[in-house]
Amino acid sequence: MSISYAMQTGVSGLRANSTAVGRISENIANANTDGYRRSFVQMVTTSTLSQNGTVAPSGVRAVQGSEISTEGALRATERATDLAIGGPGFFVVSKQPNETNEANFMLTRAGSFLPDENGNLRNAAGYYLAGFPYDQTANLGNIDRNQFGDLKTVNLGSLSQTGSPTAEMTISGNIPAQQTGLATPGEPFLSSAEYYSPLGAAQRMQFSWQPGAVDNQWTLSFNGADGTQYGSVTVDFHDSGALAGAPRLYSNATSTAAAPANFAFDPATGVATLTIDNGAVPQNVAINIGAPGTYDGMTQFAGDYSPLKISADGAESGVLVRTEIDERGDVYGVFDNGSRKPLYNIPLAEVANPDGLLKADGNAFLLSRSSGKFSLNQAGEGSTGSLTAGALESSNVEVAQELTDLISTQRAYSSNAKIVTTVDEMLDETTRLKR
């Protein structure tokens, strides 16, 4: 190796080690950055091919990389919209809400999301979280998990839940057999159920079970909370055999409703149909008491009266009061009417080679040829990591290791600087030979 080669080798060492110091400095500066991934530099020798075919060493160069696949520790926070990933996967984010250009989507592990002035979830770097929206029937529909086109920005603004009218109601419970067949029948057993009007208003329906003078016979009346009478039906129960306690016969169905309200009863199915006058178009509610010879509705056994168990469809209108995020990435809205419904699913993007992603500003990453193809997977399924709400992932930087590397890199830099000064002295001695 000539003196000039030695000079070039020392210069390459200075350049490579200064690059390494830069990466170490970046790691130390971001030791407390949520979701940050450590950068590193590997030294690779360089060589040149001479004219006679021999390989001559010519120095060293720095090859930069990142430990993207190495996870950081999780720490708990007080915010419900802070998200941490345990295992493989990345959040999908964009610079603008509801981005339509797939080239503008990025990946990140920084989950410090908070609603902005419009309710869009945005992290500390200013990137908006993307997810798949649920429809009104709590379904995601047909989504393509191999492209970004079906994603929308997760918005938790002033969401409201539209009311839906009650169409079906089911009643079950037990009435005491010993109360029937008495010379002087006792007072009726009363219960009520809540149902919802077409405008999402909560209203109540009252049921009255009057014991009869005949054994195992009752008169069931349907009334509105405002005193409106709809109708009644006589119910006889089996008193023996395999069907003891089950409804035996429905008879004497009588409508007392004033038009356009109405009452009808199907004795074969045990279903009463009430037409309620609460709008320009009356509302129809089917109330299932239980088919004859079955135990899935009302029963009559000796003992105490049990409060009726009533289930009804429909929903009251409501306003969002808080959100909940589970480990599968489902974002649920809890409304002031007590209902809870899914709003979004936050997918986690996986790539074949996470360490091949390109770093971008704001602690984000861009897809590259080296990273391979991506897929938007359900959190907690297969190899995809799970989500933890109310937590953040810390940097994967180990400060003690970085400081140790900084010392060794500084020593290497000084040694390469010594090469340059030594070669300078040798050149100086060479120029003096002619004097």
The pLDDT of residue 51: 58
The pLDDT of residue 48: 66
What CATH number belongs to 168-312? 2.60.98
If you search the block for the tokens 């500003």, which residue do you land on?
361
Interval 362-389: pLDDT, tens: 999 999 999 999 999 999 998 899 999 9
The pLDDT of residue 266: 96
Backbone dihedral angles phi then psi of residue 27, each to the nearest 5 degrees: -65, -45
| Cβ atoms within 10 Å, residue 162 | 11
Let me know: does 221 contact 208? Beta carbons within 8 Å: yes
The pLDDT of residue 54: 62
Distance separating alpha carbons of residues 75 and 421, to the nearest angstrom: 50
The pLDDT of residue 57: 62
Residue 94: closest CA among 150, 153, 144: 153
- Give the three-class secondary structure for 44: strand
Structure tokens at 316: 């009251």
Residue 36: closest CA among 420, 395, 380: 395
The pLDDT of residue 223: 94
The pLDDT of residue 6: 80
The pLDDT of residue 49: 59
Distance separating alpha carbons of residues 103 and 126, to the nearest angstrom: 17
Amino acid at 347: P
Amino acid at 310: I
Task: Give me the residue spans of the domains in the chain.
Answer: 3-69+396-432, 74-157+319-393, 168-312
Tell me how far apart the 2 most distant CA atoms of the chain are, in Å. Answer: 143
| pLDDT less than 50: residues of the chain | none
